[in-house]
Amino acid sequence: MSNEQAAGARPAPLTAGGSSLFEPGRNCWRIERARRTSVVVDGETYFGAVRACCIAAHRFVAICAWDIHSRLDLVRDPPGDGLPTLLSDLLMTLLERKPELQVFVLLWRHAPIYALEREPALFGDHPWPEHPRLHFVRDSSHPFAASQHQKIVVVDGKIAFCGGMDLSKWRWDTNAHDPDDPRRRDPSGEPYPPYHDLHMLVDGDAARALMDQFAARWRWAGAEGLDWEPASGSQRPNTVAGADTGGDADDPWPEQVEVMLRDQPVAIARTLPEFDGRDEIREIEQLYLDTLERAERLLYIENQYLTSRIIGDALCESLTRDQGPDIVIVVPRETGHWFEQHTMDILRARLLKRLRDADVHGRLRVFYPDVQGLQQGCMMIHAKLMIADDRLLRVASSNLSNRSMGLDSECDVCVVVETDEDVAAVRAFRHRLLGMLLSVPPEDVAYAEAQAADRGHGLIAAVEAIRAAVSQAEPDAASGAVRLADLEDRADPEWDRQLPDERLIDPDRPLQSELIAELAVGGDEHTPHLQRRLIVGIGLVLVLVAMAVAWRWTPVGDWLEPDRLAASVEGLSRTFWGPPVALLGFVAASLVAVPVTLLILVTALVFGSITGASVALIGSALSALAGYGIGAYISRDAVERLSGERFDRLSRRLAKRGILAIITVRIVPVAPFAVLNLFAGAVHFRLRDFLIGTVIGMAPAVIAMTVFAEGLLSLIRQADLRAIALIFVGVLALGGLAWLSRRWLRAGDQAR
């Protein structure tokens, strides 16, 4: 902040010329001119427009996506043109009809947590049909826990879509957001709740610049086949296979999309994390901050998330100023499924409390769309929109979350208009959006704002007047109407207590091992201990594999008669007294500090996969309970003397973190199993949380060791592919856990 700003001087407003806001290399990548600019609202319009553009394509269609579905139905009513409506069928038909057409699809290689939501890859790298001119690439060129979140579609280098919508399931909806629209079904035929999203459409040099960004990501992903050379500045690049970029011949602009603005400079801003020699880029974050600092009259925001610390700070600063904009934010009632509701929604509630505490002048309202008559779920706000003073219009892929500021790869497009005619166009667009969410005509929104302005008030007063009028006129709202309801900032106190530091849930930079160790269990002093345990564990696995090989292919097998030994230990599992005795032995051994990993492996070898896993998991829980009881009985000082002073910090962390802390220290073994049990009891850790966290945290190791043990016994009996595969899977799972632990706790703070 400059000295003048620190002294209270206001920065230049948006009305001081759009070019003064955008600074390439600071808050945007490039500024390129678009002859035409528009915003498509909701999936019905966007998917129909994409279909029309693909049909008009002559040279190439390039799609950059966080998610995509080959069986997406682009239009839900018969189009009457004889061409397919399913995305993959349409593209394949166009490829067959147009011998010069090429299709490039760049899809994020998603994290396993999204596997059940994605289209399954049945017999290959993707479920799409094979075609020599269909190029499909999965993009993993990003740091651990990051994603490729850019959403771009470019046709022939002439027009480009950029914003928040993916060509995937659960996205299609109409502007009406009817709670019971029978056409709103996913490719499997299942209905889903209403869904709201936006995309910006540009042409000219702005479209070619977005193609430059697509080509850069294509190369970063290690893909080939794309003949596109990026240009510097506003120079026109070479085109794919000679695509025509001049004039209006074969113009792919879709007829159903009305032009909103003409001849506008378009700023393109990105988030790119540091990775593989590429520098970190945080243009998106800086453009948000500059916009929030300069806005004077109103800020209208639609976004899926509201968790970014730095954006929250900027909003708080705006709210505490004596004079500043009315801020209206529209978010979904719930951000997603169960996991997001118990993580991102809690972070949102924390930020909302900060914002409302800062709102000393009453200039903030946060709403969610309430669809009358909707029986299950809630309307999703997936849009990433910001309008400032009706002069700045920004449509983004970036959420107002920490990860969109620095971890995920994002791409936003933004215009700042100057003429009265263009300001009126942006204002009319905002009126349209608010009218849709309030179930009133846009003219009613314009009238309410004019009335509020006559009384010296702003956007909030207008919205509240409409809400009051609608409530009085229709106390029992008809089914299907959308209303803006106040979003409460209360979070479930139990989950709020359990949630770890937000830098783990919503990081703004690549996750580093020492940060995870520090936030979860208390620092990097545990790293050498973990490394020793990993070395011992890997050595044990190698010894067991060597023993199995020796039993199978050397004279040792004749001496020990492995078939007889295997039959003997398997017979133990058939007795009624076998599992109880094993549980007692498991608990006793763990109390004298026998490594729990070894106990799990022996149990799985003796009892087989299902029974062995059950006995091992129950034994782990009982052992933990026994150790907890001993720790609670003896004094804390005695536990510290037995364990060493280095665990004092761990005990403080455990006392604050709850279930998730126990899960973490079970998966990432920062201390011996028995010692952790004693400490949890000594510090009077909540018993319920301790047991739940232990069962959940021990489950991955139990499953991995059980698979490995089954393969080991199979290898003892006979060397077949199944036995080798089981051992390979078991070792891979154990190695994965070890790698994850090492990645979390090894030194690696280069990005910080």
Q: Please state the rounded mean pLDDT for residues 101-112.
A: 89
Q: Please state the rounded mean pLDDT for residues 217-225.
A: 92
**475 compared with 213, residue with greater pLDDT:** 213
What confidence score (pLDDT) does residue 490 get?
79
Give 474's pLDDT tier (boundaries 50, 70, 90).
low
Interatomic CA distance for residues 690 and 687, integer angstroms? 5
pLDDT of residue 429 exceeding 70: yes
Q: How far is CA 297 from the centre of its chain?
A: 32
What confidence score (pLDDT) does residue 180 get?
93
As to burial, measured by CB atoms within 10 angstroms (0-12 exposed, 13-18 middle, 19+ buried), residue 564 is exposed
Q: How far is CA 717 from the centre of its chain?
A: 46
Q: Please state the rounded mean pLDDT for residues 150-172.
A: 97
Phi, psi of 11 (to 5 degrees): -70, 170
What confidence score (pLDDT) does residue 692 get?
86
What confidence score (pLDDT) does residue 624 get?
84
pLDDT digits (tens, 9 = 90+) for 114-124: 666 778 764 45
Give 630's pLDDT tier (boundaries 50, 70, 90).
confident
What confidence score (pLDDT) does residue 504 get?
78
DSSP tag of 73: B
**495 compared with 170, residue with greater pLDDT:** 170
Give 593's pLDDT tier (boundaries 50, 70, 90).
low
> Which own/partner contact pairs does 458-461 have at CB distance under 8 Å and 24+ positions apart?
458/297, 458/298, 458/325, 458/326, 459/298, 459/300, 459/326, 459/328, 460/326, 460/328, 460/362, 460/363, 460/365
pLDDT of residue 510 exceeding 50: yes
What confidence score (pLDDT) does residue 676 get?
74
- CATH class of residue range 35-248: alpha beta
DSSP tag of 27: T
**725 compared with 692, residue with greater pLDDT:** 692
What confidence score (pLDDT) does residue 306 get?
97
Q: What is the CA radius of gyration of the chain?
A: 30
What confidence score (pLDDT) does residue 19 get?
52
pLDDT of residue 437 exceeding 90: yes
Whether 430 and 300 have beta carbons less than 8 Å apart is answered as: yes
What confidence score (pLDDT) does residue 712 get?
54
pLDDT of residue 411 exceeding 90: yes
pLDDT of residue 404 exceeding 80: yes
Highest mean pLDDT among 329-338, 384-393, 728-737: 384-393
What confidence score (pLDDT) does residue 611 get?
76
Least confident of 368-372, 531-535, 575-579, 656-660: 531-535
Q: Please state the rounded mean pLDDT for residues 138-166.
A: 95
What confidence score (pLDDT) does residue 610 get?
74
Give 225's pLDDT tier (boundaries 50, 70, 90).
confident
Least confident of 254-268, 342-356, 528-542, 661-675: 528-542
Tokens 């009319």 belong to 428
Q: How far is CA 562 from CA 216, 548, 554, 711, 727, in A?
A: 58, 9, 12, 14, 17
What confidence score (pLDDT) does residue 744 get?
43
Least confident of 17-31, 319-333, 381-395, 668-682: 668-682
**570 compared with 305, residue with greater pLDDT:** 305
pLDDT digits (tens, 9 = 90+) for 554-580: 554 444 444 444 454 455 445 556 678
pLDDT of residue 441 exceeding 90: yes
Interatomic CA distance for residues 161 and 151, integer angstroms? 8
As to burial, measured by CB atoms within 10 angstroms (0-12 exposed, 13-18 middle, 19+ buried), residue 635 is exposed
Whether 148 and 66 have beta carbons less than 8 Å apart is answered as: yes
Tokens 């500043």 belong to 324
- Indicate the average pLDDT of the chain: 80
pLDDT of residue 433 exceeding 50: yes
DSSP tag of 444: H
What confidence score (pLDDT) does residue 312 get?
97
Q: How far is CA 282 from the centre of its chain?
A: 18
Least confident of 319-323, 353-357, 552-556, 574-578: 552-556
Report domain extents, the chain: 35-248, 513-745
- Kind and range of the H or E element at 267? strand 261-272
Least confident of 2-6, 267-271, 377-381: 2-6
User: How would you label 475-498 residue by residue, b for 16+ Cβ within 10 Å and e otherwise?
Assistant: eebeebbbbbeebebebeeebeeb
Tokens 């709210």 belong to 319
What confidence score (pLDDT) does residue 422 get?
97
pLDDT of residue 446 exceeding 80: yes
What confidence score (pLDDT) does residue 387 get?
98
Q: What angle do CA 406, 411, 416 make, to 5 degrees?
A: 110
Give 716's pLDDT tier (boundaries 50, 70, 90).
very low
pLDDT of residue 711 exceeding 90: no
Phi, psi of 644 (to 5 degrees): 105, 150
pLDDT of residue 219 exceeding 90: yes
Give 43's pLDDT tier (boundaries 50, 70, 90).
very high
Give 517's pLDDT tier (boundaries 50, 70, 90).
low
Q: Which two tokens stand for residue 55?
A: 């049909």
pLDDT of residue 5 exceeding 50: no
Least confident of 42-56, 527-541, 622-636: 527-541
Q: How far is CA 18 from CA 14, 28, 277, 486, in A?
A: 6, 13, 34, 33
Give 546's pLDDT tier (boundaries 50, 70, 90).
low
pLDDT of residue 81 exceeding 60: yes
